[in-house]
Amino acid sequence: MHLLLVEDDERLARALTRLLEEDRHVVEHAPDGRTGLDLATGVDGLDCVILDIGLPDMSGLDVARRIRASRVDVSILMLTARDTVNDRVVGLDAGADDYVVKPFAYQEVSARLRALARRAEPGPRRPEPKLSAGAIVLDEAARRVTVQGRSVDLSPREFSLLEALLRHPGQVLTRDQLLDHAWPFSVAVTPNAVDAYVHYLRTKLGEAGGQIETVRGVGYRMGDGADG
């Protein structure tokens, strides 16, 4: 999803942005309400605004009301320390689609974003996609990888690398392309990290890891054979 996080707590914003990016969301950040309102109404393709109520310059409730008044078609997930029923009702009436009370676990935010994404999907639900090559099967919804039916435990980075390769079978992906897919943009990392993680991935996949072929001086591709 393409997300806008409107949060003035710098530490929380940094941590939440990192976790969201690790989940492969694209995240914009606004440290105050006015900046958030400008981005929410000016950036094309936003799927959801994660909006703190207690902002320094204007209430998140006012931001939500103005977003709705502008007729921008975007979901709003409210973050707040206020947890009474009346507070939740006020937030929903202001235009929020859902509500998370601080302190919260990241898993709750992630689950609520998934629920908002499902609500936004037009028409009947489609089967969740699976990617495969030879004996390797990657289930995006369950975030599960199997080789010949055997489950393989991958780190989030390894999973993202494998996903990128499976999405482009036979196509050479450069190290920079793989970095962009598997690493958050805020993380300082060199292309050499890709080589290390491809090694880890091949080891965990066993014989099927040979399908990840090295293209010298360029990068890697997913082949359909067992020799790399």
Give 138-144 contacts, CB < 8 A, sequence gap 24+.
Answer: 138/162, 138/163, 138/166
- Residue found by looking up tokens 């992630």 in the block: 110
Domain assignments of the chain as residue spans, ordered by start: 2-120, 130-222
pLDDT of residue 191: 77
pLDDT tens string 162-176: 988 888 888 898 888
Q: What is the DSSP letter of 225?
A: S
Residue 226 has pLDDT above 60, yes or no: no
User: What percentage of the chain carries pLDDT values higher than 70?
Assistant: 90
pLDDT of residue 129: 65
pLDDT of residue 126: 47
pLDDT tens string 91-113: 888 899 998 888 777 878 888 89
Higher pLDDT among residues 88 and 214, named by residue: 214
Residue 52 has pLDDT above 80, yes or no: yes
pLDDT of residue 128: 52
pLDDT tens string 115-145: 888 877 655 544 456 889 999 999 877 788 9
Distance CA 55, CA 71 (A): 22
Looking at every residue in the chain, the average pLDDT score rounds to 85
pLDDT of residue 186: 43
Q: Does domain 130-222 have CATH number 3.40.50.300?
A: no
pLDDT of residue 188: 63
Count Cβ atoms below 10 Å from residue 192 Cβ, excluding itself: 9
Beta 150-152 vs 144-147: how paired, if at all? Answer: antiparallel
Residue 213 has pLDDT above 50, yes or no: yes
pLDDT band at 156 (very low <50, low <70, confident <90, very high): confident
pLDDT of residue 21: 87
Distance CA 116, CA 108 (A): 12
pLDDT of residue 121: 66
**Two tokens at 68?**
């709705």
2-120 and 130-222 have identical folds? no
Q: What is the mean pLDDT of residues 209-227?
A: 84
Residue 202 has pLDDT above 70, yes or no: yes
Domain 2-120: CATH superfamily is Response regulator (3.40.50.2300)
**In this predicted structure, which of 39-53, 55-69, 152-166, 168-182 has the lowest mean pLDDT?**
168-182
Distance CA 161, CA 22 (A): 12
pLDDT of residue 105: 78
Q: What is the mean pLDDT of residues 71-93?
A: 83
